[in-house]
Amino acid sequence: MKYESGRIALTSFVAALVTFAFCEYLIVPYLNSLQYRIYNVSHQQISHRAVFLGYTFSAGLLMYNTAMPSWKNFGMYVSILSTFHLTEYLGIAFTNPAAVNIKSFFINHSPAYVGAAIMSWLEFYRKVLFCTNETKPSYLQHKKAKNHTLVTHGVYAICRHPSYAGWFYWSIGTQLILQNPICLLAYAIMSWRFFNERIMAEEVYLLRFFGQDYVEYQKKVKAGLPFIKGYTEFVN
């Protein structure tokens, strides 16, 4: 059951993509060949995008209704996002038909939009991976799994919490790029406070799981975030 939610989510998306490919490369071209005078290239492209958004909307509903709790929010998000792009096109079509075109869906209106979307998906997936008990709101692991071992090599030889450090510096970096001094300070303070509390709570359990081995690890490797030492009650 550990990876059941991931399998259901992936199955939903694969089903949607297969259905979209079937419609795009078989059904729609066949209809266009029968009604060549009605459909032109622009209409074909519009129908392709509408079919894709329709099936992603359905995939989101399927995920919300069948997936494990940690994936339900993503299913709702997919359906809402699909609805947004569909209504963008319909809104322009009804209010200003002369201006409607393939770009009215706003699916890929800028590289920044695509990049932000991909980053949000990766961040959500990373959080899901942290979830070890989907019936509780906390992502902290309260019980040691049989295959849970202390990893001290690779990136963990540089800092104890590389994912937290990466997110912390990434969030600050986004505001540096945008040159937002107020948000830069706010992001730094809020992120630091969150990860300070998070690391403190997490290391309490890690010390219970690995005992003296984790104490020695704390002595050798820093947490990875500025002025955060973690739970160091047993570290001399």
Give domain status of residue 151, yes or no. yes
Same domain, 94 and 149: no
Same domain, 66 and 163: no
Same domain, 87 and 6: yes
Q: Tell whether the model's pLDDT for residue 198 goes beyond 70.
A: yes
Most confident of 76-80, 96-100, 109-113: 76-80
Give domain status of residue 75, yes or no. yes
Same domain, 99 and 145: no
Same domain, 41 and 86: yes
Same domain, 72 and 166: no
Structural domain for 215, as ranges: 137-235
Give domain status of residue 191, yes or no. yes
pLDDT tens for residues 157-180?
Answer: 999 999 889 889 988 888 888 788
Region 181-206: mean pLDDT is 89
Poorest-pLDDT segment among 1-15, 66-80, 147-161, 174-188: 1-15
Same domain, 18 and 90: yes
Same domain, 7 and 75: yes
- Specify the pTM: 0.45
Give domain status of residue 112, yes or no. no
Give domain status of residue 196, yes or no. yes
Give domain status of residue 50, yes or no. yes
Give domain status of residue 115, yes or no. no
Domain tally, the chain: 2
Same domain, 59 and 147: no
CATH number at residue 194: 1.20.120.1630
Nearest to 72 by CA among 82, 80, 64, 60: 64
Same domain, 150 and 214: yes
Give domain status of residue 155, yes or no. yes
Same domain, 93 and 158: no
Same domain, 94 and 143: no
Of 87, 106, 125, the residue that ends a domain is: 106
